[in-house]
Chains A and B, each alone.
Chain A
Amino acid sequence: MRTAFINQLVQEAKTNESIFLIVGDLGYNVVEPFQQLFPDRFLNIGIDEQNMVGVASGLAQNGYNVYIYSIANFPTLRCMEQIRYDVAYHNANVKIVSVGAGYAYGSLGASHHATEEMGMLRTIPNMVVCSPSDPFEASAITTISANYDGPMYLRLGKAGEKNVHEQDVILTIGDFCQYAESSTQNVLFVTGSIMDYAVNWVRNNHIDTAIYSVPFVKPMNQKQLLSIVRKHNHVIVLEEHQMSCGLGSALIEQVSDLYSLGEIDIMPTIRRIAIKDEFISVSGSQAYLRCKSGLVLSKNLFSDK
Chain B
Amino acid sequence: MDSKELAKRVRISSVEMVHRANASHIGGSLSIADILAVLYADVLNVFPQDTKNDSRDRCLLSKGHACVSFYAVLAHSGFFPVMSLEEYGKDGSQFLCHTSHHITGVEISAGSLGHGLPIGCGIAYGAKIQKKEYRTYVIVGDGEMNEGSNWEAILFASHHRLDNLCLIIDYNKIQSFGKTNDVLLIEPLKDKFNAFNWHVIEVNGHNHQSLLFAFKEAKETKGLPSVVIANTIKGKGVSYMENELLWHYRSPNDELFKQAIEELSK
Contact = CB atoms under 8 A, between A and B. Distances in A.
A59 B109 contact: no
Interface in A49-69: 50-51, 53-64
B119 A64 contact: no
A45 to B, nearest CB: 7
A179 interface: no
Contacts of A60: 122
Interface string A37-51: 000100101101011
Output the residue of B112, B120, B156 with the most chain A CB within 10 A: B156
A61 B118 contact: no
A149 interface: no
Taking residues whose C-beta sits less than 8 angstroms from the other chain, chain A's interface range is 20 to 34
A45 B153 CA distance: 10
Contacts of A276: none
Interface string A54-95: 111111111110000000000000000110011001100000
A85 B110 CA distance: 8
Contact of B122 (A46, A57, A63, A85): A57
B82 interface: no
Contact of B127 (A51, A56, A62, A90): A62
A110 B153 CA distance: 28
Contact of A82 (B101, B107, B120, B149): B149
B205 to A, nearest CB: 25
B152 A51 contact: yes
Nearest to A41: B129
A43 B156 CA distance: 11
B121 A55 contact: yes
Interface string B84-109: 00000000000000000100000111
Contacts of B122: 54-62
A90 B108 CA distance: 8
Contacts of A85: 109, 111-112, 115
B125 interface: yes
Contacts of A43: 125
Contacts of B127: 62
B161 to A, nearest CB: 14
A54 to B, nearest CB: 2
Contacts of B112: 81, 85
A59 B114 contact: no
A61 B116 CA distance: 13
Given A54-B149, A59-B125, A90 B109 contact: yes
Contact of A86 (B107, B118, B155, B156): B118
A55 B119 contact: yes
Interface string B118-152: 11111111110110100000000000000011001
B129 A40 contact: yes
Nearest to A49: B152
A231 B127 CA distance: 54
Contact of B121 (A54, A81, A82, A89): A54
A64 B155 CA distance: 23
B153 A51 contact: yes
Contact of A55 (B108, B111, B125): B125
Contacts of B130: 62
B121 A51 contact: yes
Contacts of B114: 50
Contacts of B7: none
Contact of A58 (B119, B152, B159): B119
Nearest to A51: B152
Given A54-B118, A86-B119, A62 B156 contact: no
Contact of B123 (A51, A61, A81): A61
Contacts of A50: 114, 118, 148-149, 152
13 contacts: A50-B118, A50-B149, A51-B152, A54-B115, A57-B108, A57-B118, A58-B118, A58-B125, A61-B119, A85-B109, A85-B111, A86-B115, A86-B118
Given A43-B125, A61-B107, 12 more contacts: A48-B155, A51-B152, A51-B155, A54-B153, A58-B126, A60-B122, A61-B123, A62-B123, A82-B115, A85-B111, A86-B115, A90-B101
Interface of B: 101, 107-109, 111-112, 114-115, 117-127, 129-130, 132, 148-149, 152-153, 155-156, 159
* CB-based closest 3 A-B pairs: A58-B122, A54-B118, A62-B126
